Amino acid sequence: MRLRGKLIIAVVLALVASVAFGFIYDFLMTASQRDLYRREYSSTVSKYAAEYGVDEALVYAVIKTESNFDPNAESSAGAMGLMQLTPETFLDVADRLLGEEISEDDILDPEVNIRCGVRYLAWLIETFESEKAAVAAYNAGPGRVSEWLEEDGELNSIPIGETRIYVSKVLHAKDIYERLYYS
C-alpha cells in the first residue's frame, strides 16, 4: 500500500508539473510571438479599420508583411511607408476614394499612410468580395487579379509566385494576430 501511495503521488506530481510546464511554455511562446507580431500605431489602425470596416488583424498583417512597421520603408518598386503604397496609388486613393487632395510628401506620415492603405484595402475587399483576392490585388494590382478570377468569382490560382507567397504570408500573419490579440 505504501509503494502504491508513493506511485500515485509521483504520477500526480508529474501531471501537475507537466501542466505547469505547458502553461509556462504557452506564456513564453505567446510573449515571444507578441514581440514578433507587434501592434504599433494601434490607435491609428483601430480608428481606420473601424471607419472603413476592415479587420484590424488584416491591417496589422499587411503592415507586418509590407514594412515590418518601418514608417520610412521603401521598396525597389517605389512603394513607400508602413503600408507600402506607390505614390500613384496613394494619390489615387486620396482623390478617388477619400475625395481629398493629399500631398505626395505625406506618404511617409504614418497616420496618412495607414488611412490611405486601409481605405484602399477596404475598396479591394468591396470590389473582389474576397479577402484573399483583395490581398492578392494589394500586391499585384486589381487588374491582374480580375484576370485571375474564375467564372464563379473565386481566386483559385495565383500565377505569379511573388503574389502567391505574399498572400500566404499576409493570411498567415493575420491568423497569428487573431490568435494573439483577438480571440
At residue 177, the 3 state secondary structure works out as helix
127 is written with which cell numbers? Answer: 470590389
Cβ(37)–Cβ(183) under 8 Å?
Answer: no
CA dist 64 and 49 (Å) reads 15
DSSP string, 65-133: HHHTT-TT-B-TT--BTTTTB-HHHHHHIIIIIS-----GGGGG-HHHHHHHHHHHHHHHHHHHS-HHH
87 is written with which cell numbers? Answer: 505614390
The angle that helices 110-128 and 42-52 make with each other, rounded to 10 degrees, is: 30
Q: Which secondary-structure segment (H or E) carries 156?
A: none
The angle at the Cα of 37, spanning 82 to 139, to the nearest 5 degrees, equals: 45
Candidate list 40, 51, 66, 162, residue with the active-site label:
66
147 catalytically annotated: no
Catalytic residue positions, numbered:
66
